[in-house]
Amino acid sequence: MKFQSTILILAILSLAILSCAPEEENEADTRKLVNQPIDPSSQPNELNKQLIIYGDLVPGNMPSASNPDQIKITVSISSALITNDNFLFLPFAFDSNDQLKGIYIEVEGAQEHWDAPVELVDPSDNSFAVAIGIPNFIQKGDFVVSYSIYDQNNNISEKKSINVSIVDSENRCGSGQSFPRVTGEDGITVKTYDMGDYPGIVNISYYMYNQKDRMDIRYGGEWVASTSPVLLQDGQAPPFKTCNEASPNDGFVSYGGSFSIPYDPQISRQISIYVSGCLEGGTVWYFDVNCPTGNNPNPPGAMICDNGQIQDSFDPGSENYHIYPKEGEELNTIICDPSVDPNCSVNEVFDAMLKQSNFISPTADTSPVEDCKLTWVEILTPFNPVISKINYFENSVTNYTLANQKDKFGIERSHLLHPGKVTRTVELIDGKVVVSTQGEGTGWAASINTFFSKTVWTNVDKDLQEYWNQ
């Protein structure tokens, strides 16, 4: 505030002096107190100059290819989505007969280019990522970055291009709204979230499908979480690997998980999430972000799966109230033993459970489980609608009963046991990975529902068991 006050005082004094001076002595004040906003779609020169790149800005366009058979960019990405005030990581794989020396970079339409050195950690590496800083005064819009690489003998590759989109940061905490799910495919995605005024825990869940992807989370100027077992260091770019080289050791995974990030607006209000896929991958992924929980007196009031029918709590005093298993009893099935099966773990079994819907409910549906997916389960009839909510923090899926849903014939159906829910959890019990089941509700036929629960859910578990053993 002292700095702002000083500026204000100086501005007032300047105006006073100018108003008292003869008109002919007035001169325009060309001082810039702040950087002017730049529209990336229409100001390529200005944008190019303001990019933060470790290198030199050189007049003219980047050099043309020279002996491109000696040096090639073999794999690159075609698109990136990012919020400003972040780093755009430009990854590529290459093949060179001589040592890689540098990279030329320019915004398409600019009249200058960047010449940046490349220093490989390992001379045998065949992939690299250049960090390009996007300042906070770059506005929302699209632009194209072209680049080529060169070796120590000044052989220059053919240029490649990447389409970049600058998007706004998300700001919904305290509004009663939830953040929309973020989905993506090939390329790089960087999303920034303003987490609001109240401290607490920010929960982030993700799911990477068959092809491997990596997630890194930045908060307070530091890398704080990652799908990699080792966090990035300050200023370090995520590694980029071809899909046949990528592994969990590099942070590239093909399953779901979650992070819980302690949040304090006094440290920083923004959390940035980086998702990068393996090169030449055809990747598909999604992640969900929740506003801080724990200390917010006005948490978002979003409904589960935005469905007003879903009932998550039930009155124990209701005449139809039931819960199973009863206290002191168990309803779980051993899926595998880590001491016998080296692939057996809670995460791996949970990932397997999400492969088919018949692993989470009595249904003929064998398509993958998806968050908030509608599934028809068999309870006396095959026309009982449930909606599934995935909880990656607890390695569980909860099926909520629904009413008045139209089936494939256009006939309106209601779950026979509505309202109710069943939660399926993968956990470690007595050194073995098991699936535990718990049901609760106030729907019809409470005693019958409880009596047959063990038979119904043991049969579902056997399907998962057989799949795992294959």
Q: Taking all residues of the chain, what is their mean pLDDT, rounded to a whole number?
A: 85
Res 12: pLDDT: 26
Please determine, for residue 369, whether its predicted confidence score (pLDDT) is greater than 90.
yes
- Which CATH fold would you assign to the domain 170-302? Jelly Rolls (2.60.120)
Whether residue 37 is predicted with pLDDT greater than 60 in this model: the reply is yes
> Is pLDDT larger for residue 317 or for residue 385?
385
Domain coordinates in residue numbering, the chain: 44-167, 170-302, 322-469
Half-sphere exposure of 247 (CA within 13 A, CB side): 2
pLDDT of residue 175: 67
The CATH code of the domain at 44-167 is 2.60.40.10
Q: Cα–Cα distance between 104 and 113 in angstroms, integer?
A: 7
Structure tokens at 268: 């920083």
Are the CB atoms for 205 and 392 separated by under 8 Å?
yes
pLDDT of amino acid 31: 45
Cβ atoms 162, 144 nearer than 8 A: yes
Q: What is the mean pLDDT of residues 424-453?
A: 87
Give dist(CA 174, CA 193) in Å, integer.
13
Residues in contact with 451: Cβ distance below 8 Å, sequence separation at least 6, in sequence order: none
Residue pLDDT, tens place only, 147-186: 999 999 999 999 999 999 999 888 888 766 678 888 887 7
| Tokens standing for residue 168 | 């706004």
Among 28-32, 293-297, 344-348, name the one with the lowest average pLDDT.
28-32
Determine if the peptide bond prior to 419 is cis (ω within 30°). Answer: yes
The whole-number average pLDDT for the span 252-262 is 88
| Fold assignment, 322-469 | Alpha-D-Glucose-1,6-Bisphosphate; Chain A, domain 4 (3.30.530)
The pLDDT of residue 416 is 87
pLDDT digits (tens, 9 = 90+) for 5-29: 222 222 322 323 333 344 444 455 5
144-155 pLDDT, tens digit each: 999 999 999 999
* Pairing of β 432-441 and β 100-107: unpaired
Task: Give 302's pLDDT tier (boundaries 50, 70, 90).
Answer: low
Per-residue pLDDT at 437: 94
Which carries the bigger pLDDT value, residue 151 or residue 381?
Answer: 151
Query: pLDDT tens digits for 69-79?
Result: 999 999 888 88
Average pLDDT estimate for 217-229: 92
So what's the pLDDT on residue 235? 67
Which pTM does this prediction carry?
Answer: 0.62
3-class secondary structure per residue, the chain: CHHHHHHHHHHHHHHHHHHHCCHHHCCCCCCCCCCCCECCCCCHHHHHHHCECCCEEEECCCCCCECCCCEEEEEECCEEEEECCEEEEEEEEEEECCCEEEEEEEECCCCEEEEEECCCCCCCCCEEEEEEEECCCECCEEEEEEEEEEECCCCECCCEEEEEEEECCEECCCCCCCCCCEEECCCEEEEEEECCCCCEEEEEEEEECCCCEEEEEEECCEEEEECCCCCCCCCCCCCCCECCCCCHHHCCECCEEEEEEEECCCCCCEEEEEEEECECCCCCEEEEECCCEECCCCCCCCCHHHCCCCCCCCCCCCCCCEEECCCCCCCEEEEECCCCCCCCCHHHHHHHHCCCHHHCCCCCCCCCCCCCEEEEEEECEEEEEEEEEEECCCCEEEEEECCCEECCCCCEECCCCCCEEEEEEEEEECCEEEEEEEEEECCCCHHHHHHHHHHHHHHHHHHHHHHHHC
Please enumerate in sequence order all residues whose Cβ is within 8 A of that of 3, keeping only pairs 6 or more positions apart, or say none.
none
CB atoms within 10 A of CB 139: 15
The per-residue pLDDT for 69 is 94
Residue whose C-alpha is closest to residue 129's, from 143, 140, 116, 142: 116
